[in-house]
Structure 1
Amino acid sequence: MLEFRQVHKSYSTPQGPQYVLSGVDLRLAAGESLALMGESGSGKSTLLHLAAGLDLPERGEVLIGGTSLAGLSETGRATLRRHTLGLVFQQFHLIPSLNVADNLLLQARLAGREDSRWTARLLERLGLVKHQHYYPEQLSGGLQQRLAIGRALAPRPALLLADEPTGNLDETTADTVLGLLLELVAESGSSLLMVTHSPRVAAPLDACLILHHGRLLPERPTP
């Protein structure tokens, strides 16, 4: 579903280029879940942005479903994101003028894949049924995070990319939200690439890689 082939990425600084990714190889099969860990500033978010086609590598290749992102125009990458990817970032990016139900449906409508039964299932499983006519500002942080996850999963994306999806939550709420995320990912049949700093959060996923000095180490941390 997702493949990195010898991907390199650096950023310009006053001191010269800062290399973030150095020859990264990664493979994520359909239906698999993968946690990506690493110390702050190790390039985890950069890797996620490359996977989403929000940025391009200097060298190497990123493929989604066998399609090279470098071979697509910016419009082509945006279309691929709309139809193939679900994105959950630390900032929820909910639309304040839309209620919960319409926020949830936004991505599915953009992708042309609105499914009333799946939407009802998401509202139920995420505990949002009684809040569906509320607006984002009326929700707690935990409910906003659930809504962001539901919106990303509403079109049943082939690949879900999540950047610290429980990082802003207390431990109990985080465990609940993570459990719901993994259950709904399994139900939707999506692949999952999740950035996290927590070994406890990474533990339930199928595999874990650690980004260290620009390279991926195939290790599963001990909770």
Structure 2
Amino acid sequence: MLRLTSITKTYPTPQGPLKVLDEVDLTLAAGESLALMGESGSGKSTLLHLAAGLDLPDDGSVHLGAQRLSALSETKRAALRRDQLGLVFQQFHLVPSLSVRDNLTLQARLAGREDDAWTEHLLTRLGLAEFAARYPEQLSGGQQQRLAIGRALAPKPRLLLADEPTGNLDEAAADQVLDLLQTLIDESGCALLMVTHSARVAAPMQRHLMLQRGRLMDMPQ
């Protein structure tokens, strides 16, 4: 469902070109979960942005299903993200003027797939049913991140891309968010590609890859 083939990405720096990704290959099957690990600055977020079509590789190809992202216009890539992807970042990116319920349903509404029964199920699973009429600033950090995860899963995407989703949380809140994320992924049936620097966060994922010096390597289970 996701295939990256011979991906190369280089950025200019004052010291000269920096090759962040070097002939990277990655595949992710439908319903599979994969943790992408590596040190800060190793290119993990760059790879995630390429998978989402937020950026394009210098060389190589990114396919989501049968669609080659570089063959699509920026408008069509945005439509593909809206219709098929869920995105969760370290920053919550909630809309402060919308209630918890409206934040939760925003992405599904934009995709034309709002489902009242699934919304109620998510609110309950997220532990936010009693806060549905509140606003993001009235929630704790852990609650806001749970809401961000729920928003991404509300349209029932084919693939969820998560970039350090617990990076702003303390360990207890992070564990709660990770347990919830895994449960909702199992219930929705979507695939998950998670970027993290933490072995503890990566542990529940089915597969583990390490990005080092621009190359991917398998990690022992």
Q: Sort the TM-score into its range (normalised by shorter chain).
A: over 0.9
Measure the CA separation in 1 of the matches of 2:105 and 2:206: 29
Measure the CA separation in 2 of the matches of 1:181 and 1:168: 16
Match of residue 126 from structure 1: 126
The 3-state SS of whatever aligns with 1:13 is coil
Measure the CA separation in 2 of the matches of 1:13 and 1:111: 38
Measure the CA separation in 2 of the matches of 1:11 and 1:198: 26
Spell out, residue by residue over 1:134-191, the C-alpha distance to the aligned partner (whole angstroms, 9 max, x if none).
Answer: 1011111000000000000000000000001111111111111101101101111100
Match of residue 151 from structure 1: 151
Match of residue 166 from structure 1: 166
Q: Is the 8 A contact 1:208 1:219 kept in 2?
A: yes
Measure the CA separation in 2 of the matches of 1:202 and 1:66: 28
Deviating above 3 A after TM superposition, structure 1's stretches of 4 or more consecutive aligned residues are none
Shift of residue 77, structure 1, vs aligned partner: 0.1
Measure the CA separation in 2 of the matches of 1:25 and 1:213: 14
Considering only aligned residues, what root-mean-square deviation do their CA atoms show, in Å? 0.8
Q: Which runs of 5+ in 1 are unaligned?
A: none
Match of residue 196 from structure 1: 196
Measure the CA separation in 2 of the matches of 1:143 and 1:40: 26
Q: TM-score, normalised by structure 2?
A: 0.99
Give the share of equivalent positions with the same residue, in percent. 69
Q: Which moved more, 1:95-104 or 1:162-171?
A: 162-171
Q: Which runs of 5+ in 2 are unaligned?
A: none
- 1:1-223 equivalence runs, <5 A: 1-220=1-220
The 3-state SS of whatever aligns with 2:17 is strand
Measure the CA separation in 2 of the matches of 1:220 and 1:128: 37
The 3-state SS of whatever aligns with 1:56 is coil
Q: Is the 8 A contact 1:207 1:220 kept in 2?
A: no
Measure the CA separation in 2 of the matches of 1:43 and 1:96: 31
1:156 maps to a residue whose letter is: K
The 3-state SS of whatever aligns with 1:86 is strand
How many residues of Structure 1 are paired with residues of Structure 2 in the alignment? Answer: 221
